[in-house]
């Protein structure tokens, strides 16, 4: 018994000594060991308290010069990666090489981010993760643009382009291009996404959407007299009208499950996720609003810029006219454009791509770090926002030799190195409406080039 007690005592002492050693080692390591070095934060400044460098950024955004905002700081800090403060957020701005990282590998480390103003204007963002939101948007648009439906869509675009130019351009000595094209692209988007054709309804929605879109980057102060107050009021009015339209469409689908309407709204009402859940009414409203905003304004800007560049460059103008005339000749006796005709407009689309490279319509994107990570030897903390400037890449001589020279041949043949020119995003975050916008731009330009010549009026 004495031996057994002694043995147990030895085991206890050994266990106690081992535990004490571990505790002492841990305490020594905690208090005296050299801490593991973290990678440094990117160089830069957060600017003024709260405001940061937001004012300079928004001014450059307004004038389409975000790439200059980026280039100035890249040169100042001698780094393609730098930190700043925008819209009340700590932001890391990444350089040209980041495009591929963001669009391919970044999905495990970062997610999309929307400013607070956008979150308030689109309530479903509070309960629908942005990646899930994008996936459902892709599903709807993919069905909308499948082989069966795309010919019908092209026919609609063809007829509406012809009528718009006939009613608003023909016989006029002077037109305000951007305003007219924006009304046209909006009208077509409303018809394609919501199935609405009545001109009075379209004009009513147009006036409200013009106010609503002003809030996407507005300061979210919802007090009478502020821009955001007017934006929220317009948004509430739009939602009331949308609820009536959705209710009517549900009744139509209930009465006739095989309803022939082929529009995005109908697809959204019928859309189910992998668990068989339908979209909520708020989700449907937000997605329709997002599609409309994302399609009509940027598309109108692209068409207007393309007309400007075509007028300034007669050598390219003549090449594109020849391409469009040859397509018209091959169509005879058929009068409406079809999918195969669109695919033949290669020179025209290369020209449009060079316009978008030279003058980015969408100047960049925001993302958010969902965990700490390192990029180009700099530490990017969880929760920080990330901004990727498209123009900084598209005007970089490493990717585009002689970047100030306008040269559509950059996009002919195999085109550019992937992820260097990304006007519609890239990878799994490619803009769902890219193909819709491409077809619309090419159909409109086809009719415009066949029937009109123009020159700018300087005031």
Report the binding-site residues for heme: 431
Map residue 365 onto helix, strand or coil: strand
Which tokens in the block code for residue 311?
Answer: 């007028």
Nearest CA to 432 among 182, 94, 142?
Answer: 142
Strands 89-94 and 82-86, bridge-based pairing: antiparallel
Q: What letter does residue 263 receive in the DSSP assignment? A: S
Contact between 102 and 392 under an 8 Å Cβ cutoff? The reply is no
Distance (Å, whole) CA 366 – CA 111: 9
- Apex 184 CA angle, 179 and 187, nearest 5: 125
Binding residues: 431
Residues 6+ apart with CB under 8 A from 220: 115, 116, 117, 120, 228
Largest CA distance in the chain: 117
* Strands, sheet with 89-94, edge to edge from the N-terminal-most edge strand: 82-86, 89-94, 385-389, 364-369, 110-112
Lookup: tokens for 145: 């643009």
- Helices 227-255/281-312 angle, 10° precision: 110
Cα–Cα distance measured from residue 174 to residue 84, given in angstroms and rounded to the nearest whole number: 45
Residue found under tokens 């700081």: 73
Rg of the Cα atoms in the chain:
28
Confirm if 203 and 186 have CB atoms less than 8 A apart. no
Q: Are 306 and 351 in contact (CB under 8 A)?
A: yes
Question: 3-class SS at 322?
Answer: helix
Q: Which two tokens stand for residue 346?
A: 């290669």
CA atoms within 13 A on the CB side of 344: 17
Would you say how long the chain is, in residues? 459
Distance CA 323, CA 345 (A): 7
């Amino acid at each position: 018994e004495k031996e057994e007690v002694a043995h147990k005592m030895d085991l206890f002492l050994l266990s106690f000594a081992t535990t004490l050693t571990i505790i002492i080692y841990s305490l020594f390591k905690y208090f005296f060991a050299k801490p593991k070095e973290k990678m440094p934060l990117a160089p830069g400044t957060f600017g003024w308290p709260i405001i940061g460098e937001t004012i300079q950024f928004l001014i450059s955004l307004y004038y389409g010069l975000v790439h200059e905002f980026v280039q100035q700081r890249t040169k100042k800090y001698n780094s393609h990666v730098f930190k700043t403060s925008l819209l009340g957020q700590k932001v890391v701005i990444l350089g040209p090489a980041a495009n591929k990282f963001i669009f391919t590998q970044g999905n495990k480390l970062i997610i999309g981010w929307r400013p607070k103003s956008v979150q308030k204007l689109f309530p479903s963002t509070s309960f629908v993760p942005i990646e899930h939101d994008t996936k459902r948007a892709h599903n709807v648009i993919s069905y909308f643009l499948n082989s069966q439906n795309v010919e019908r869509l092209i026919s609609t675009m063809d007829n509406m382009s012809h009528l718009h130019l006939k009613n608003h351009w023909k016989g006029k000595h002077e037109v305000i291009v951007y305003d007219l094209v924006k009304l046209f692209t909006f009208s077509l988007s409303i018809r394609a996404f919501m199935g609405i054709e009545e001109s009075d309804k379209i004009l009513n929605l147009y006036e409200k959407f013009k106010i609503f879109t002003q809030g996407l980057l507005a300061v979210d102060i919802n007090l009478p007299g502020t821009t955001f107050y007017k934006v929220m009021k317009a948004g509430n009015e739009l939602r009331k009208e949308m609820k009536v339209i959705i209710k009517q469409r549900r009744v139509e689908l209930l009465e006739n499950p095989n309803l022939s309407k082929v529009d995005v709204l109908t697809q959204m009402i019928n859309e189910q996720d992998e668990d068989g859940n339908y979209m909520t009414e708020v989700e449907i409203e937000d997605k329709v609003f997002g599609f409309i905003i994302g399609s009509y304004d940027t598309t109108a800007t692209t068409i207007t810029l393309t007309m400007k560049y075509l007028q300034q460059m007669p050598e390219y103008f003549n090449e594109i006219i020849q391409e469009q005339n040859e397509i018209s000749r091959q169509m005879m006796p058929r009068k409406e454009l079809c999918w195969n005709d669109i695919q033949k407009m290669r020179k025209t689309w290369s020209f449009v791509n060079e316009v978008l490279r030279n003058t980015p319509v969408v100047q960049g994107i925001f993302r958010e770090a969902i965990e700490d990570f390192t990029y180009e030897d700099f530490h990017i903390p969880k929760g920080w926002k990330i901004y990727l400037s498209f123009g900084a890449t598209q005007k970089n001589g490493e990717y585009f030799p002689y970047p100030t020279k306008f040269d559509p041949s950059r996009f002919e043949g195999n085109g550019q190195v992937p992820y260097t020119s990304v006007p519609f995003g890239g990878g799994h975050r490619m803009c769902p409406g890219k193909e819709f916008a491409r077809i619309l731009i090419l159909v409109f330009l086809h009719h415009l080039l066949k029937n009109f010549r123009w020159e700018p009026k300087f005031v």
